[in-house]
Amino acid sequence: MKGAVFRKGPDYGKSWHKFSNNYLSQVGLGVVALVAVIAIFAPYMAPYPSNAGFFVNYPEAHEPPNWIHIFGTDQFGRDVLSRIMFGFRYSLMMAVVVLSLVVPLGVVLGLVAGYYRGGKVDMVVMRCADIFLAVPPLVLALSICSVLTPSVFNAMMAVSLMWWPWYTRLVYSISSSLRNEAFVQAAEIAGASPFHIIFREILPNCLGPILTKITLDAGWVILIGASLSFVGLGAQPPIPDLGTMVSDGANFLPEQWWVSLFPALAIVLVILGFNLLGDGVRDLFAAETV
């Protein structure tokens, strides 16, 4: 509280201090950073970069984990570790593309519906959101993918189409309650425009929950992408998608367990990382409002 401070934002120092004191969030940040680095530099870091795509080396097929192939090889003799490292690329790409499509759309719809609460916009937007939310997202995403040609791109589109209502509903619940707060009324009385009120007064108060959800969702979007390709309706071989690798490997259980198990654990690692990080982000924003 002491000393003249010209800070432009909330107390990030304190927030970071709190975040960095949380051991689990740091682990999460570490995991996510590691996965991101691997994904970006996969061509340079993977022991056998060529194994990512169409590659056949039957003499080395179905090798259990050893010093040459730490996670073993699959039915075509491809190095599982290398394929997992490339798999992270598709996973992260999925998360980035889907969330960057879905978040702005969902957030803006939620803000607008919340601001015009009780009006026609609210009616239409929120009823639509409810319809999209009437069935688990994976189920609808599966059915959309099924009528399209299975591909990474179509999977991303299908998941995006299913995901926006979650943000709309989250933001709506905050913005519609903030709508009646005295500070919003004060801005209205001052003569501020709806644009100002929505984006300058209400939106900043939604940021904490939104960023927390984005972090957590990164994991869940990756999971849903993997699930689509696990079933065969997402990424198609030979793309090294983690979900495809798990389902391909499942055909060789239990003898060649490594082909399936290591990609599965890679998925777990990514989700765990984003989950831990998400809890940290939540704390970060909680610390700010103390």
Positions 220 through 239 that interact with another protein (CB under 8 A): 223, 226-227, 230-233
Q: Cα–Cα distance between 47 and 84 in angstroms, integer?
A: 11
Report the amino acid identity of residue 17. Answer: H
Applying CB under 8 A, among 137, 165, 234, 240 the residue interacting with another protein is 137
277 vs 3: CA distance, rounded Å: 33
- Burial of residue 151 (CB within 10 Å: 0-12, 13-18, 19+) is middle
Residue by residue, what is the 3-state secondary structure of 239-269? CCCHHHHHHHHHCCCCCCHHHHHHHHHHHHH
User: What phi and psi values does residue 44 have, to the nearest 5 degrees?
Assistant: -95, -25
One residue of 267, 277, 281, 284 binding another protein per CB under 8 A: 267
Among 7, 44, 58, 67, which residue sits at the site for another protein (rule: CB under 8 A)? Answer: 7
108 is a contact residue toward another protein (CB under 8 A): no
Supply the minimum distance, in Å, between the C-beta of residue 138 and another protein.
Answer: 4
Q: How many residues bind another protein (CB under 8 A)?
A: 72
Pick the piece of the chain touching another protein (CB under 8 A) from 44-52, 68-76, 100-108, 179-187: 179-187
Identify the sign of the CA torsion 75, 76, 82, 83. negative
- Among residues 96, 130, 153, 251, the one that binds another protein under rule CB under 8 A: 130
Q: Does 4 bind another protein (CB under 8 A)?
A: yes
**Interface with another protein in residues 8-67 (CB under 8 A):** 8, 10, 18, 24
Looking at residues 204 to 223 of the shown chain, list those that interact with another protein (rule: CB under 8 A).
204-205, 207, 219, 223
Residue of 19, 12, 18 whose CA lies nearest to 215: 19
Considering only 69-77, 96-104, 108-116, 264-272, which stretch makes contact with another protein by CB under 8 A? Answer: 264-272
Q: Which of 23, 53, 119, 181 binds another protein (CB under 8 A)?
A: 181
6, 7, 8 from 3: Cα distances, Å: 10, 12, 15
**70 phi and psi angles, rounded to 5 deg:** -60, -40
Among positions 44, 58, 120, 182, the unique one binding another protein when judged by CB under 8 A: 182
